Amino acid sequence: GAVVSQHPSRVICKSGTSVKIECRSLDFQATTMFWYRQFPKQSLMLMATSNEGSKATYEQGVEKDKFLINHASLTLSTLTVTSAHPEDSSFYICSARTGAETQYFGPGTRLLVL
Amino acid sequence: GENVEQHPSTLSVQEGDSAVIKCTYSDSASNYFPWYKQELGKGPQLIIDIRSNVGEKKDQRIAVTLNKTAKHFSLHITETQPEDSAVYFCAAPYQGGSEKLVFGKGTKLTVNP
């Protein structure tokens, strides 16, 4: 149980294009989903907290217009990187939380912007 | 908010030995402490967690101990195997019962055959 999927697992795009990443909780309903960014050999950096049906809460320093988050249902949240640039290249990971404290992570999406 | 420090940053052990990773936290109101294992190129996997109402929790070769007075918790892996090689992260709630987690910087564990 508690499986979280992400799609795509890897994406390469040209600078200036937008990329959408999907995060799904497959066998449970997630009251809250989180989006993280991870640079090589570093820890997880929280970008935003997403609750179904409401606007996402972004961490300080994260551009809301750059990283659009939509949480349309209790099993799906999407992160759209708008007008991507090479500095947006990173490993993006989502997690989903049930009513308890436990966060279950997806497998991550590797984004490379050329 | 919470501050989590994790040590050591790297740990190398021989197969069959034990490995211990320690984390300290700053907020005495924190009540939930998970440990995650991350293999290269994958997302973190929850391996064990502990809540503040218990001092120790064990799951086969993995155990976590919590010292609320000293504000530290540790991951213990016994009889290590090469497949235990990964980066391990500890975490604590951002603030008291916050749903957000603050992560340690990670420990790269290498188990040598």
pLDDT digits (tens, 9 = 90+) for B18-34: 999 999 999 988 899 99
Contact B42 A108 (CB under 8 A): yes
Beta-bridge partners for B24:
B5, B72
Contact A34 B49 (CB under 8 A): no
Short-list A33, A90, A44, CA closest to B4: A44
Number of residues assigned to chain A: 114
pLDDT mean over A110-114: 97
Look at residue A99 and tell me whether its pLDDT is greater than 80.
no
Chain A nearest-CA distance from B17, in A, is: 25
Asked whether B68 and B52 are in contact (CB, 8 A), the reply is: yes
Q: How far apart are CA A20 and CA A78, in angstroms?
A: 7
- Count the neighbouring beta carbons within 10 Å of the beta carbon of residue A70: 15
> What spatial distance separates the first Cα and last Cα of chain B, rounded to whole Å?
41
Out of B32, B36, B105, closest to residue A101 by CB: B32
| Confidence band, pLDDT 50/70/90 cuts, at residue B97 | low
Asked whether A103 and A46 are in contact (CB, 8 A), the reply is: no
Any residues with CB less than 8 A from the CB of A24 and at least 6 apart, and which? A4, A5, A6, A7, A75, A76
Q: How far apart are CA B16 and CA B11, in angstroms?
A: 14
pLDDT mean over B88-92: 97
Look at residue B2 and tell me whether its pLDDT is greater than 90.
no
The per-residue pLDDT for range B53-79, each reduced to its tens digit, is 889 999 999 999 999 999 999 999 999
Which DSSP helix (H) or strand (E) runs through B102? strand B101-103
Out of A6, A32, A102, closest to residue B46 by CB: A102
Asked whether B83 and B62 are in contact (CB, 8 A), the reply is: no
Please give the DSSP secondary-structure letter assigned to residue B73: E
Any residues with CB less than 8 A from the CB of A49 and at least 6 apart, and which? A32, A33, A34, A56, A57, B99, B100
Chain B's closest residue to A43, CA to CA, is B105
Contact B42 A107 (CB under 8 A): yes
The per-residue pLDDT for range A31-89, each reduced to its tens digit, is 899 999 999 999 999 999 998 888 899 999 999 999 999 988 899 999 999 999 999 99
Which DSSP helix (H) or strand (E) runs through B88? strand B86-93
